[in-house]
Chain A
Amino acid sequence: MKNIIQKCKEIYIKNKIIIVVLAAIITLVLPVLVPKSYFMGIMCRILMYATLAGSLNVINGYSGQMCIGQAGFFCIGAYCEAILATRFGINFWIIIPLAGLVTAIVGLGISLPTLKMKGIYLSIVTLGFSEIVRLTALNWESVTGGPMGIKGIPTPNLFGFEISNSKTYYFIFLAIAILFIFVTKRVVKSRIGRAWLAIREDQLAAKSLGVEVPKYKAFNFMYGAFWAGVVGAVYAPYVRFIDSTFFTLDEGFNILSMVIIGGQGTLVGPVCGSVIVNLLTEVLRPIGEWRMVAYAILIIVMMWWRPQGLVGASDSILAGDKGNGKKLEKSKQKGGGAHGVSVRS
């Protein structure tokens, strides 16, 4: 497995330009080649979840915080767009960054009080947060329409060109996904990304090197939340109708499983995860209710076989001692390293 990935990497590095150009041509021509709206719908889902999973990966994979409630951020973004567009008639293109910002601020609100919590407590808080958001959306009828949801979300316009079907929406999702990957790649390769990685690998050492751990953790959370909000804002007019049933815990687990299956800590991982899970969903559609069972088994198998995911960062603390061939005695003694390191001698 490792060899295959290694080879793929080598081929990519050698023919970088050709591959990128080829990929660009394929993605642009795809709607013309296969104009079926069923197929385009799947492509939209894949791209949407790739970005969502990517945004979760920024939180889970790069700074090592354990967020599970990404569906909550997604929900806030979607409701933000739905409410602003139906009530105030604000332009779609203005709402996108606005929804992202609102979600980022909520993310900050979640992150600030939870900075000192270790992995599992943080994940529980985010889980509870996601449920609270959903229940609020379900019960706050005057704003969110309660169980009736929000209907008739207007479709966006681009230069007088109405974007209404999945074929045109494909390009919006594509643009968002590419923008996300481009920006995130640059951020991760910079000083900020290094600080995140340092926090993931060893918080104590990061602190001793002057990395402002709380600040970067909070910023990381905001960054992840921002993109989830953006995707939510694009998603709302795509489905034209939203209610709280779109944003259950299962949705959160769904996003999480894409990150896990694809691999944490790399940019390609969530994209892979999204492709695999969404294609699997389509393939497994005939077996209906067994689909989620198949998912679950896939997640468990993944944890047993490759805890860092298919193309995850195998050289990281995320992989544990199974991922890296050599067992590092010290990390084993401490039961994983980053958590609960004692500093007393």
Chain B
Amino acid sequence: MGSLLEAKGICKYFGGLKAVEDVSMHINKGDVFGIIGPNGAGKTTFFNICSGIYTPTKGEILLNGDKISHLKSEQIAQRGMARTFQNIQLFKYMTVLENVKIGFHIHTKTKLWDSVLHTKTFKEDEEFTVQKGLEIIDKVGLSKYTDTMAGNLAYGIQRKVEIARALALDPQILLLDEPAAGMNPQETQELMEFIKILNADGYTIAVIEHDMKFVMNSCNRILVLNFGQKICEGTPDDVKSNQQVQEAYFGKGIIAGEAVK
């Protein structure tokens, strides 16, 4: 059970704004790791640092012990980190299958000559992407939408397509940014079960979520951020009983204290 993803003293400043300050954490292999915190706590910024969209002002990110915080996001993706976005970034004008096919980019190696001459590599690659793509779509439960334009799908389904696309990378760790946003309770429930299945399949998952029930039920470890700083990291029970977390969510004072009880 070595730690798969590790952050050491990450800081990210935008001008004078300290979006993330001195956050350290580690995600073990096989974890479902939750990141929670009030709005503007720096959760998504933290994700963006992990996936290489931002470079941290200070600190470093280690994936499997290798420093990745200086790499570009495509290099990080090639090393086995896939992510979804808070405001869905699907290829809206492509079908679901095409979306997933692009996810196989790093696992195929067709060169210009291969594609022009239709060599063996090309044929193998195409077969591989289509077959595996359909498999993944089936696994996510989107078989009936295979040839639908992604932009025309309902919000909740788009989120699933995004997850399917990320799965195509066959990642070591999957970062989900608010996967349940815009879903109804039924869909959220399904998503929760799906994440459990994925975890059982051996994927390590990190998830940002606002839905407390979701996080408390599906995550085995949780990081709490507030105003860019880490206030707690631990199991759901640790987090529930943590004084600072309660203050961050409910405020201080008698009434807040009552509310917790």
Contact = CB atoms under 8 A, between A and B. Distances in A.
B83 A208 contact: yes
A66 to B, nearest CB: 18
A82 interface: no
A131 interface: no
B53 A191 contact: no
Contacts of A30: none
B90 A205 contact: yes
B92 A328 contact: yes
Contact of A191 (B48, B87, B91, B108): B108
A58 to B, nearest CB: 13
Contacts of A209: 74, 77, 82, 102-103, 105-106, 165-166, 168-169
Interface in B196-248: none
Contacts of B98: 194, 197
B108 A197 contact: no
Interface in A188-233: 189-195, 197-198, 201-202, 204-213
A100 to B, nearest CB: 13
Interface residues of B, number: 51
Contacts of A328: 92, 151
Interface in A61-114: none
A6 interface: no
Interface in B146-190: 149, 151-152, 165-166, 168-169, 177
Contacts of B102: 194-195, 197-198, 206, 209, 211
Nearest to A325: B152
Interface residues of A, number: 38
A292 interface: no
Contacts of A191: 105, 108-110, 115, 125, 129
A187 interface: yes
Nearest to B178: A345
B77 A210 contact: yes
Nearest to B45: A344
A330 B89 CA distance: 10
B255 interface: no
B76 to A, nearest CB: 8
A326 B112 CA distance: 36
A201 B116 CA distance: 24
Interface in B84-110: 85-94, 98, 101-103, 105-106, 108-110
B89 A194 contact: no
Contacts of A212: 74
A165 to B, nearest CB: 32
Given A208-B77, A209-B105, A210-B169, A192 B112 contact: yes
Contacts of A343: 44, 48, 53, 85
Contacts of B109: 191
A51 B122 CA distance: 26
Interface of A: 183, 186-187, 189-195, 197-198, 201-202, 204-213, 313, 315-317, 324, 326, 328, 330-331, 337, 341, 343-345
Given A194-B102, A197-B98, 14 more contacts: A187-B115, A190-B122, A191-B109, A192-B115, A194-B105, A202-B89, A204-B89, A209-B166, A210-B74, A210-B78, A211-B102, A324-B151, A343-B48, A343-B85
Interface of B: 19, 40, 43-45, 48, 51, 53, 72-74, 77-78, 82-83, 85-94, 98, 101-103, 105-106, 108-110, 112, 114-116, 118, 122, 125-126, 129, 149, 151-152, 165-166, 168-169, 177
14 contacts: A189-B115, A190-B110, A192-B115, A195-B105, A197-B94, A198-B91, A198-B105, A207-B53, A207-B77, A209-B77, A211-B105, A315-B93, A315-B149, A326-B151
Give 9 closest A-B pairs by Cβ, nearest first: A190-B115, A210-B77, A345-B44, A210-B106, A205-B89, A191-B110, A201-B91, A207-B73, A210-B78
